[in-house]
Amino acid sequence: MTGVSFARITVAVDGSAYATHALEIALELAKKFSSELIIVAVAPLTAYVATSEPWIPTEVLEGEVKHYRGIVDKSVERAQAAGLTSVTGICLEGHITEELVDFVEKHPVDLLIMGSRGLSTTKRLLLGSTSDEVLHHVKCPVLIVRTPSAP
């Protein structure tokens, strides 16, 4: 990998096995390239039916924010335990794809790492793959992790 540098790496986590494997790969690459590592999770919007309204409003539930913040915190602890010193954890709220693309646009990175499958399997079947959507909208290299590590 002569001439290749990944000074800033972002990894998306959601608590799934695929994201956990993506985090492990991000840790190895960050160590190898002495990279700054940014760990990002997105607490997703939750749709609910409002019986008095003709539309379906969405919101991010407070419990979801706490859940994803916990995933970020544990991931940061894992990175620090692996010996990384430049680690930042961020929990965003909203539409997962939009938030990830917006974050990478506003905070350019040399590599984005994410799992090929996350926790929202049903939504993915209806709406399309988050990793595929992100891949087609960011301007940085993307590493999509297809298989989780063996237990």
Summarize pLDDT for 77-112 with one digit per residue, the tens: 999 999 999 999 999 998 888 999 999 999 999 999
* Residue 3: inside a domain: no
Report the candidate in 85, 92, 81 with the shortest Cα–Cα distance to residue 13.
Answer: 92
Instruction: Give pLDDT tens digits for 27-37.
Output: 999 999 999 99
pLDDT the model gives residue 6: 95
Closest alpha carbon to 27 in 121, 132, 111: 111
As for how many domains the chain has, the answer is: 1
The residue range of the domain holding 76 is 11-145
Give the CATH number, domain containing residue 59. Answer: 3.40.50.620
Report the distance separating Cα 142 and Cα 70, nearest Å: 25
Report if residue 51 sits inside a domain.
Answer: yes
Which pTM does this prediction carry?
0.83
